[in-house]
Amino acid sequence: MAEEKENITGMHDDKFLAPENKKRIVIGPEGEEIHVDPLQDYFCTERPQTSEPRNKTVEKFLNWARAESLWVLGFGTGCGSIEIPPLLSPRFDAYRFGVAMRATPRQSSVIIISGYLAVKTLKRAIRSYEQMQNPKFVIALGSCTINGGMYWDSYNTINRLDHYLPVDVYVAGCMPRPEAILSGFNKLKERIRAGRAEGANEYITNLDWYKANQKKIIKDWNMPDYNW
C-alpha cells in the first residue's frame, strides 16, 4: 500500500493543479521512495512529429479512403449539437455518406466544433482533439467559431477557433441546418481528396503558437502540453 507524503518543498506549486496531478513522493511497499510527477509520467513527453506523405499514388488512394469514412467524435460543444442528431436520423441519414458517430476520440477522425466554445469546454476540446489519431480534421459550425457570433462580447467564450485548433471547414449559420452540415462534410471530403486537409500536421508544426494561444486563455493549465 502506497503512502503519500504531503507538502514536500520544491514541488509544483501551481494553484490550479488538481491534487492527483501534483508531483509527490510515494513510499513503496518495501520502503523505497518513488518520485511521481503525473504530468510527466502518465503522458508521452516527446514532442509530436508531423507525418510525411507517402508516395503520390498511395497517398491519393489513402485520401480517397479517408474522405469516404469520416468518423465523427460525438462531442457537441455548443448549440450546434442540436442539429447533429437529425443529421444521423432517417431523414438526412448521414451514414450513407460515410459519416458516423464515435464515442471516443481514439476512434474518430473528425471533431465537429458545433458553435461557441466556453473556455472550460475548449480545454476538453483540445484534449479530445489531441487524442485523436492522425490524420484528423476539424469542422467548425456557425458564426461563433468564425468571429464570436452571438457571444462576441461574452467573457467566457472564445471568438476565433482558428487560434486554438486548425480548422478545415467552416459552415455558416446559427445554427447551420443539417443540410448545410452535410455540405460541410462534402467540402471536407473535397479538401481531403485534394490533399489539402493537413490540419494535424499544421497543428504540430505550429504547436508553440497554438499552445501559447491556448495557455493565454486557459488560466488553470494543469495538463501536459500534448495529451497522448
Q: Footprint of another protein on residues 95-114 (CB under 8 A)?
A: 96, 103
Residue 48 Cα distances to 97, 127, 161, 168, 226, angstroms: 32, 14, 22, 20, 8
Residue 87 or 204 with smaller CB distance to another protein: 87
Indicate which single residue of 217, 224, 225, 227 sits in contact with another protein (rule: CB under 8 A). Answer: 217
Residue 48 or 221 with smaller CB distance to another protein: 221
Q: Nearest-CA neighbor of 144 among 127, 124, 121?
A: 121
86 contributes a contact to another protein by CB under 8 A: yes
The three grid cell numbers given for residue 93, joined into one nine-digit string:
441519414
Binding mask 42-81 for another protein (x = CB under 8 A): --------------------------------xxxxxx-x
Q: Nearest-CA neighbor of 155 among 200, 187, 130, 120?
A: 120
Residues of this chain, 133-152, that bind another protein according to CB under 8 A: 140, 143, 145-152
* Phi and psi angles of residue 73, each rounded to the nearest 5 degrees, phi first: -75, 125
Residue 48 or 159 with smaller CB distance to another protein: 159
The one-letter code for the residue type at 135 is P
92 contributes a contact to another protein by CB under 8 A: yes
CA–CA separation, 96 and 194 (whole Å): 21
Residue 137 or 226 with smaller CB distance to another protein: 137
